[in-house]
Amino acid sequence: MAAAMASLNNIELFRQRIAEGRLCVGTGITYIDPAISELIGDAGFDFTWIDMEHGPIDLATALNHVTAVRGTGAAPFVRVPYNHADVIKPVLDCAPAGIIVPNVKSAEEAERAVKACRYPPRGGRGFGPRRGMFHGAISQADYLEQVADDPLIILQIEHIDAVECIDEIVAVPGVDSFCLGPNDLSGSMGKLGQIDDPQVSQAMDLVCRRVKESNLMLGTSTFYSEENFAHWMQRGLHWISLGVDWAHLFSGCRGLLEATRQDKPST
């Protein structure tokens, strides 16, 4: 029964792509309609970034987004609002492929996130699965075997305090990936939005080097431009979340209008 988990959240597809040296590309989800996630998955994205921190997505909505991509090739990641076991616990029971924990600033906070995501004895996650056990189709023993290393634990580095103790943070066992948050990191340095500022860039480069030296996955969430994308590729990313649903919708609508509107009235 151990292979039954393979179709639940596409985590094995994400891991396989990373193992093959392929870049995984995703995008942000903020709208509450799960059809958005289904569309993103059908479009061919490798993962979705379901945002409970900066969007109106509650637990029930997050579950709908997670289940919406099951029939696609996309792995659903959920960014929780903040690093607390009671917040993370019910999201884990939605059986996402990854949990993104924002604004981790210390090794102690990293340890707290890991413990929240793993069952005893490795952690302190409360036991109450439903979807993860295929609603009773598999045994508790098989379920615990399947989720021994699932979901992916992804910690966001987005504050200068985290940069200053990055060696201690990346040494915390159990983390699968680190994700840079360029805007919040620049803001914590008094330079909000200045992600190309030399000091901000140096801070991000340091984090990237330390993560890669630790043989952990490196990712980020950012906007797309040829220049920005090329810069991030030079840092050796394994995965990148580009843009967000509302921005894709707006740019598509604006592009259509600009392509079809004329200054003179039609005759």
Q: Where are the domains of the chain?
A: 2-256
- List, by residue number, the catalytic residues: 54
What are the CA-CA distances from residue 57 to residues 35, 89, 197 (Å)? 14, 16, 33
Task: In whole angstroms, give the CA distance from residue 239 to residue 177.
Answer: 10
CA 186 remoteness from chain centre: 20
Average pLDDT over residues 209-224: 97
pLDDT in tens, 193-208: 999 999 999 999 999 9
Question: Which pLDDT score, from 0 to 100, does residue 149 have?
Answer: 94
CA-based angle 51:52:57, to the nearest 5?
100
Higher pLDDT, 261 or 207: 207
pTM of the model: 0.94
Q: What percent of the chain is predicted at pLDDT more than 90?
A: 94
Instruction: Rounding to the nearest 10 degrees, give the CA dihedral for residues 180, 185, 191, 193.
Output: 40
Q: Sorting pLDDT into bands at 50, 70 and 90, what band is 4? A: very low
Radius of gyration from C-alpha coordinates of the chain: 19
Per residue in 8-36, pLDDT (tens digit) is: 999 999 999 999 999 999 999 999 999 99
Q: Which CATH architecture has domain 2-256?
A: Alpha-Beta Barrel (3.20)
State how far Cα 59 lies from the chain centre. Answer: 16
Helix or strand holding residue 246 (H, E): helix 245-260
